[in-house]
Amino acid sequence: MAAKKGADRQQPAEPATAAPAPTPKAGRPDTGAKNGESAVRPPRRSKTGTTGGQGKKKAKPRSRAKKKPAPTRRTVLLALLETACLAVTAVTIIMVLLGLAAERFSGTRFLASLLPFALGVLGLVLAASLSLFAWLRLRRWLLGRSPWLPASLALACLIGVGVLVVQGQFYWAFGHFRTLVGGRAEAGRVTLTHQVFAAYRRLDPAQLQTLITRAQIYTRDIDQAAAAFGLDPDLLHGVAATESSFLPRPSSDGGQGLFQITRVPDEVTLLAGRQLGAAPRVDNHRDNAFLAAATLRYYLGQMQNDLFLGLLAYNIGPKNGGLRFIMRQYGAIDFVTIQPYLQQLPRDYPIRVLSHALAFRLLRREGRLLAYEDGLNAVRIQQLGVPGL
């Protein structure tokens, strides 16, 4: 026994071995790292028991905001139609209301005219803002019923405004709005335009019909000349009616042909020749029309496309230095200020030309001449406008 115990005491002790590392529990991989080593995350196990990338179904992403569906082509077109209809309707209503306000509060007194008009503009801005807010609320309700309803209602508003615009009262409102915005220049233009309307009203219907009958054989040449130089064909017809009454013949002052051509600048002759392909001859009706169109275009360019001054310069021609020299001599700046310095014949020339041109426009658009004082003919004629303006 003692020997055995001694043997046991002399036996060397075995080295201690490290305890095995505990295996991580399923579903909780060890993400820690020891001694600077990065731990590798094991593949996540899906609900079906397979590892990621090998299962049939992918794991659902975490809570994400749902994407709004992309607008379809129909939705975009309906939105564009709605916007366009509302914009045109709003602009039309604003112009009409401003025109009516300008007529109602016209004048220069502060309390009677200027202040009420300014307050009216402020009220219009507030009303437009409230209308926009109301439309957005209504649009949301309409879209809940049908995507077609907002655009349909906007189109109905546009049609309703369009029906009212063709009435006479709305036309007068537009006229006052143009005068309000155009200022002095528009006021002068309106005055001269009404002189043309009044001159047309005084024309003899039988004489007009005679002129129209004579003009038929020259219509093609006049229309081609007007198109070549960018002029209104009815305007060129009015010049021929005033110059020769469509009876081409030499005159006592040297005028020749359908348009009574006298002296024309050399530049005009070259321009007409380029369009005709040969040197123009004043005794040829077609060449005469091209010379007249080139001459009128030349003088319109001199007068900054002012129709009244261009016609006046066409009538005066290059004598006495031309109209531009006369206006500089007397300090005139437009047709209204040059009129007192002119004799009656050249002063009335643009009005007579444009009144005849208006007759040809009515014939082309309406198929007949309208009596200015009958019914709503005055409104209709004014809506058609003066050729060239």
Mean pLDDT of the chain: 82
Find how far residue 338's CA is from the centre of its chain: 34
CA atoms within 13 A on the CB side of 160: 10
Q: How many Cβ atoms are within 10 Å of 334's Cβ, its own excluded?
A: 17
CA distance 202 to 372: 9
Lowest pLDDT segment from 110-124, 139-153, 208-222, 325-339: 325-339
Q: Which residue has the higher pLDDT, 303 or 165?
A: 303
Dihedral (Cα; 299, 304, 305, 308), 10-degree rounding = -70
The CATH fold of domain 195-384 = Lysozyme (1.10.530)
What angle in degrees, to the nearest 10, is found between the helix axes of 344-366 and 205-215?
70
The model's confidence at residue 44, banded by pLDDT at 50, 70 and 90, is: low
Per-domain residue ranges of the chain: 74-165, 195-384
Lowest pLDDT segment from 43-52, 70-79, 92-101: 43-52
| Cβ proximity of 237 and 224 under 8 Å | no
Lowest pLDDT segment from 210-219, 262-271, 295-304, 341-350: 341-350
Q: Which residue has the higher pLDDT, 233 or 75?
A: 233
pLDDT digits (tens, 9 = 90+) for 251-296: 887 889 999 998 888 899 999 999 999 999 988 999 999 999 999 9
Max CA pair span of the chain: 171
**Model-level pTM?**
0.63
Predicted confidence at residue 170, as pLDDT, reads 75
* Six-digit token string for 67: 């994407």
Token pair 């305890």: residue: 19
- 180: which residues sit within 8 A by CB, 6+ positions away? 98, 99, 102
pLDDT beyond 90 at 21: no
pLDDT beyond 60 at 22: no
CA-angle at 369, arms to 352 and 186, nearest 5°: 50
The length of the chain, given as a count of residues:
389
* Six-digit token string for 330: 């007397």
Predicted confidence at residue 43, as pLDDT, reads 54
